[in-house]
Homo-oligomer: A and B are copies of this chain.
Amino acid sequence: MHHAGGDLTDAAPRAAARLVGELHARGPRVHCITNTVAQAYTANMLLAAGGVPSMTLSAEEIGGFVARADALLVNLGTFDAERRAATGVAIAAAHEHRRPWVLDPVFVDRSASRAAFARDLVRRGARVVRLNHAELTALADGATREDAMAYARATGVVVAVSGTADLITDGMRTIAIGNGHPLMARVTAMGCAGSALVAACLALEPDALMASAAALIALGVAGEIAAEKSAGPGSFAFHIIDALAALDAPTLMARAKVSA
């Protein structure tokens, strides 16, 4: 399972190259509890990558949807009573049916109650938590980017911190991914869609560090390709969908920027 640094920098691009093909071949179902701002864009990014999204939230139905899905995303943006209730049922179903799930604790730095809820979700067995630096600090009692490894070790969750380079750690291993483009921060729901791609990869790859790295390499490379064709954030938003749909193994192997 564990790789030395040098192995990781080889293994992550290879995982990305393999998983991008498998997503299209196997079409994993990803059930998404996500905010209404992000739902359509997340669905389109998943479809572009080969995944099959579903987004139902009602407490009555969501257990069945999760049971029939291959992975679950829990995104806390525009969080409300309905989503809170749905999350409880969905996580129970995920555990019962052994579906891996990803937590995206959007804006926990702006709401103490949301941060408390997110901490509880980490304890309940999220496989990956994907977030930015401010969210990590709010989630992990003042943790900096450098503390991510300790937090991952303490909680058992894989931590993926976005930034100029994405940092991914499971507490033992750490990978930095240098792909991406500033326009990605100018399109709403880009981070949410990235977390959904992590969930899709996690449906196919049990090593959560590798699944996370593969998804974020693919997203970052697609962003770089899209930026070359875009005249601004509006055109970038669709070019990255086209680029993600067209990604192939040679492109990923050639463009991945991974360091350990």
Q: CB within 8 Å of B: which residues of A? A: 35-41, 43-44, 47-48, 53-58, 60-61, 64-65, 68, 77-82, 107, 110-114, 186-189, 230-235, 237-243, 245-246
Cross-chain contact of A55 among B53, B55, B78 (Cβ < 8 A): B78
Report yes or no: B238 in contact with A245, Cβ–Cβ below 8 A. Answer: no
Tell me which residues across on chain B come within 8 A of A77, comparing CB atoms: 55-56
Are B56 and A79 in contact, with the CB atoms below 8 A? yes
Are the CB atoms of A44 and B187 closer together than 8 Å? Answer: yes
Which residues of chain B have C-beta atoms less than 8 A from A55's C-beta?
35-37, 77-78
Residues of B within 8 A of A37 (CB): 39-40, 43, 55
Min CB–CB distance A133 → chain B (angstroms): 16
The chain B residue with its CB closest to the CB of A56 is B78
Identify the closest chain B residue to A109 (Cβ).
B68
- B111 adjacent to A56 (CB under 8 Å): yes
Can you list 18 residue pairs at the A/B interface with Cβ under 8 Å?
Answer: A35-B55, A37-B40, A39-B78, A40-B188, A43-B188, A48-B186, A53-B188, A56-B77, A56-B78, A60-B113, A61-B79, A61-B113, A64-B111, A233-B242, A235-B241, A235-B242, A237-B241, A238-B238
Asked whether A234 and B79 contact (CB < 8 A) given A40-B40, A61-B111, A188-B43, the answer is: no
- Are A189's CB and B40's CB within 8 A? yes
Q: Are A240 and B234 in contact (CB under 8 A)?
A: yes
Structural contact, B237 and A232, CB atoms closer than 8 A: no
Q: CA–CA, A80 to B33, complex, Å?
A: 13
CB distance A110 to B54 under 8 Å?
yes
Q: How far is the CB of A61 from chain B (nearest CB, A)?
A: 5
Please tell me if the beta carbons of B242 and A61 are within 8 angstroms of each other in the complex.
no
Residues of B within 8 A of A82 (CB): 80
